[in-house]
C-alpha cells in the first residue's frame, strides 16, 4: 500500500482565513499527524495559538 501524501492544507487554511494566511509553528505538523497517520494528537499551546484551527482543518480534510 503506498504511503499517504500530504493533503493540500494551504488551500484549506486560505479558505478559512483568507488569501495569504500562514500556519503557525507546529500547526501543519499537528494536522498531518492526525490526517496522515490517523493517530491521535495532543496539542498543548498557549491561548490564541490556533489549536481550534488544527481541529477544524483536520476534520475538513478527513471528510
44: left (phi over 0), alpha (psi -120 to 50) or beta: beta
Tell me if 3 is assigned to some domain. no
How high is the pLDDT of residue 1?
40
* The C-alpha cell that represents 55 in the structure block: 481541529
Tell me if 4 is assigned to some domain. no
**Cβ 24 vs Cβ 49: under 8 Å:** yes
State the average pLDDT for the chain: 86
Q: What is the pLDDT of residues 24-43, one digit of tens each?
A: 999 999 999 888 877 788 89
How high is the pLDDT of residue 2?
46
Tell me if 51 is assigned to some domain. yes
Contacts of 28 (CB under 8 A, 6+ apart): 9
Q: Into how many domains does the chain fold?
A: 1
Structural domain for 45, as ranges: 9-62
Tell me if 2 is assigned to some domain. no
Amino acid at each position: 500500500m503506498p504511503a499517504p501524501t500530504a493533503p493540500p492544507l494551504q488551500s484549506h487554511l486560505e479558505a478559512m482565513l483568507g488569501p495569504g494566511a500562514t500556519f503557525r509553528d507546529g500547526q501543519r505538523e499537528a494536522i498531518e499527524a492526525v490526517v496522515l497517520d490517523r493517530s491521535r494528537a495532543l496539542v498543548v499551546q498557549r491561548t490564541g495559538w490556533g489549536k481550534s484551527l488544527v481541529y477544524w482543518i483536520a476534520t475538513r480534510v478527513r471528510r
